[in-house]
Amino acid sequence: MDNCIFCRIASGEAQARILFADDEVVAFHDLHPQAPVHVLIVPRRHVASLAHATPDDAPLLGRLCLAAAEAARRTGIAESGFRVVVNSGAGAGQSVFHVHLHVLGGRPVGWPPG
């Protein structure tokens, strides 16, 4: 996807503060953090949203969740607690249409969200 900023970050064409990356996922700090720690986890392969995922994407979606836990460990919020958010569709607040997880922490987070 030429115009997808997350595809461009994942391929190295666009800059980001990368926390870690492997063959399947890239974790980077959000440009507009909503918490003291706000990391985005994106797959290198473009999937528009969680609603567009198929059963074949199950291993990738699991990898994203494991990467979220790793991001929490690397940023020091794993023990104190963190929230993982996936917005799917414009009505839910998704603004970049490339599936991604938000890892938020570093402060208490309220419930209910939204």
Catalytic positions: 100
Using an 8 Å Cβ cutoff, are 98 and 25 in contact? no
In one-letter notation, the amino acid at residue 6 is: F
Sole residue written with tokens 């990391």 = 39
Instruction: Catalogue the E-assigned strands of the chain.
Output: 18-21, 25-29, 37-43, 82-85, 101-105
